[in-house]
Homo-oligomer: A and B are copies of this chain.
Amino acid sequence: MPYQYFLVDRPLPYVAHVQINRPSKLNSFFEAMWLEFKTVFDTLSHDPEIRAIILSGAGDRAFTAGLDVQAASQAGILQQQEGKTEDVARKAVGIKRHVEEFQNCISSVEKCEKPVICVMHGFTLGLGMDISTCADIRICSADTKFAVKEVDIGLAADIGTLTRLPKAVGNFSWVKEVSLSARVFGAQEAYQVGYVSRVLETKEKALQAALEMAELLATKSPIAVQGTKELLNHARDHTVADSLRYTGVWNSAAIQTSDVERAMLSGLRKTKPRFEKL
């Protein structure tokens, strides 16, 4: 899996590790990167050798500092408004297409069928929030500096933070405060409000913790794990009645898996179950 902007390796059986790999620029993104980002996650989503994914940023300084504003101001979204046309409505159509494609690329983390553990450290700004709100499990090192930074460049965050953060964290006052003010907050605050579920001393320790978690998930039935991700995401967006109905239909196929028998037998025999690829 040789990618240009991402390191993707397999540190453990069934576990992929994706690193945003532009450390010299604080792992900031430009268009080609988020297009490749989608390819990475779409590929992993259907790769039968992978059951859990860790996402982190290469280097010491940042998970990602977000959009490479310099690149963006030369081409792409923030430049749309000076395109070939002067017509506001035509520019708007171009911007909308651009934003949707961008959203689509980042949402690939959420749509990925395998659980994604996001390990943050250092600067985790703007797009770094958009990306991490898409992940399933968020952990970070003690030095992480988060910010919903978009207000400071004159726009409302539009790649997913404002959409998903209110449903990721149960403190709407805090969500609004950090989103409206663009202020930086640290790892402890992120932990206390429930944005991350664990804080480790250093990036290395956070990665180690993520590896252990991924290893654990990779030993479970992939039918059970991937179904759980799907049903939790469905529940977030639907009424209880709708999700119960969807769950019933989902499990009407899933529960016919041989994994149930294998899991139960292993439970009784205290052995490690082995599950067929998915």
A: which residues have CB within 8 A of B? 46, 69, 73, 77-78, 80-81, 85, 87-93, 95-97, 99-100, 103, 107, 110, 113, 115, 135-139, 150-158, 160, 162-177, 179-183, 193-197, 213, 216-217, 220-221, 223-232, 235-264, 267, 273, 275-278
Q: A264's closest neighbor in chain B, by CB? A: B153
In the A-B complex, the 8 residue pairs with the smallest Cβ-Cβ separation, listed nearest first, are A170-B170, A171-B194, A89-B257, A156-B227, A154-B263, A253-B253, A92-B253, A88-B256
Most B C-beta atoms less than 10 A away, residue of A92, A235, A243, A258: A92
Most B C-beta atoms less than 10 A away, residue of A89, A180, A216, A230: A89
> Is A251's CB under 8 angstroms from B176's CB?
no
Question: In the assembly, what is the distance between CA of A136 and CA of B177, in Å?
Answer: 8
**A90-B278 contact in complex given A170-B169, A239-B237, A244-B103, C-beta closer than 8 Å:** yes
Q: Which of B103, B156, B249 contacts A224 (CB 8 A)?
A: B156
Question: In the assembly, what is the distance between CA of A103 and CA of B170, in Å?
Answer: 24
> Is A89's CB under 8 angstroms from B170's CB?
no
**A87-B258 contact in complex given A138-B173, A179-B232, A180-B136, C-beta closer than 8 Å:** yes
Question: In the assembly, what is the distance between CA of A267 and CA of B151, in Å?
Answer: 12
> Is A162's CB under 8 angstroms from B223's CB?
no
CB distance from A229 to the nearest CB of B (A): 7
- A220 / chain B contacts, CB cutoff of 8 Å: 151-152, 180-182
CB distance from A15 to the nearest CB of B (A): 14
> Is A46's CB under 8 angstroms from B97's CB?
yes
- A223 / chain B contacts, CB cutoff of 8 Å: 89-90, 93, 154-156
Question: In the assembly, what is the distance between CA of A60 and CA of B177, in Å?
Answer: 26
Q: Which of B103, B153, B155 contacts A267 (CB 8 A)?
A: B153
Question: In the assembly, what is the distance between CA of A81 and CA of B121, in Å?
Answer: 45
Question: In the assembly, what is the distance between CA of A197 and CA of B230, in Å?
Answer: 28
Q: Which of B100, B168, B251, B260 contacts A248 (CB 8 A)?
A: B100
> Is B162's CB under 8 angstroms from A247's CB?
yes
Question: In the assembly, what is the distance between CA of A162 and CA of B97, in Å?
Answer: 22
Q: A86's closest neighbor in chain B, by CB? A: B258
Given contacts A69-B264, A135-B173, 13 further A-B contacts (CB under 8 A): A85-B276, A90-B277, A93-B113, A93-B278, A96-B252, A137-B177, A151-B221, A152-B267, A155-B257, A156-B227, A162-B247, A165-B232, A170-B171
